[in-house]
């Protein structure tokens, strides 16, 4: 069983998609060991409690400085010793030491087709606002391994979503979540858990394409 820790900052809809996929068998060989949030009011923590999963609050503001938080966060993750760390809408930069210690074992879901609309400042609703401002016709979501950069790690999978006439940032955000994020992330976790995808020397190695699983 792949011991997995999910990190979330907000409502946890991607977390719920993971939990539902584990429940219905779309994800196999995975056990969610804990949910970590930097936000005491995050609905994700309630979702964790509802499913009997330990919820852990770790907020940078509760530490004297960012370095202290980074050390504590990394130590807590080492204590949990997960096989996989899933960033499912986690708005905290992962400490470089944690990236090194869990190299090839951290994945992230980003609400755009990387390399478009990603990097510093592109998160949550801001991504969809920028998509609409730019006037692009197709957006989507990306699952990627995490490295020391911001949204720069090797891409695992992407799924396109059409931008529709009259879209608002909110309507586009929901469609990207429903059509892409909630589909891609469970697929990626299942593929990793069952040895179909890994990262080696900074490149994704696919034994079998996810859609063929």
pLDDT exceeds 80 at position 203: no
Looking at per-residue pLDDT, the higher value among 175 and 205 belongs to 175
Average pLDDT, stretch 84-95? 96
pLDDT band per the 50, 70, 90 thresholds, residue 213 = very low
pLDDT at 46: 95
Burial class for 52, CB neighbours closer than 10 Å (0-12, 13-18, 19+): exposed
* H or E element in which residue 107 lies: strand 106-110
Summarised one tens digit per residue, pLDDT across range 125-138 is 999 999 999 999 99
Per-residue pLDDT tens digits for 24-42: 999 999 999 999 999 999 9
Rounded mean pLDDT, 71-100: 96
Residue with tokens 């949030």: 37
- Res 208 pLDDT > 70: no
Which is more confident, 121 or 35? 35
Cβ atoms of 32 and 53 within 8 Å: the answer is yes
**Catalytic site includes residue 174:** no
Q: Where residue 200 falls among pLDDT bands split at 50, 70, 90? A: confident
Confidence of residue 4 (pLDDT cuts 50, 70, 90): very high
Show the tokens assigned to 75.
């130590």
Q: What is the pLDDT of residues 138-186, one digit of tens each?
A: 999 999 999 998 889 999 999 999 999 999 999 999 999 999 999 999 9
* Mean pLDDT computed over 19-28: 96
73 is written with which tokens?
Answer: 């966060």
Question: What's the chain's average pLDDT?
Answer: 93
Q: What is the mean pLDDT of residues 198-213?
A: 64
pLDDT score, position 212: 45
User: Which residue carries 């020397």 as its tokens?
Assistant: 201
Among the listed residues 110, 128, 144, 174, the single catalytic one is: 110
Nearest CA to 112 out of 159, 57, 65, 66 is that of 159
* Listed range (72-76, 169-173, 198-202) with the worst mean pLDDT: 198-202
Percentage, residues of the chain above pLDDT 70? 96
């Amino acid at each position: 069983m792949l011991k997995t820790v999910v990190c979330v900052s907000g409502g946890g809809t991607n977390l719920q998609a993971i939990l539902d996929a584990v429940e219905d068998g779309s994800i196999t060989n995975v056990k969610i060991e804990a949910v970590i949030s930097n936000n005491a009011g995050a609905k994700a923590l309630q979702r964790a409690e509802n499913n009997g999963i330990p919820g852990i609050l770790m907020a940078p503001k509760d530490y004297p400085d960012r370095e202290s938080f980074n050390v504590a966060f990394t130590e807590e993750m080492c204590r949990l010793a997960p096989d996989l760390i899933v960033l499912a809408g986690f708005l905290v930069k992962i400490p470089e030491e944690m990236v090194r210690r869990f190299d090839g074992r951290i994945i992230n879901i980003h609400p755009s087709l990387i390399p478009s609309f990603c990097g510093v400042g592109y998160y949550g609703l801001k991504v969809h606002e920028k998509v609409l401002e730019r006037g692009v016709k197709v957006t989507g979501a990306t699952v990627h391994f995490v490295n020391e950069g911001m949204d720069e790690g090797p891409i695992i999978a992407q799924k396109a979503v059409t931008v529709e006439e009259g879209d608002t940032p909110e309507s586009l955000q929901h469609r990207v979540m429903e059509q892409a994020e909630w589909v891609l992330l469970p697929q990626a976790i299942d593929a990793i858990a069952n040895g179909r995808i890994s990262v080696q020397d900074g490149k994704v190695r696919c034994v079998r394409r996810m859609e063929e699983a």
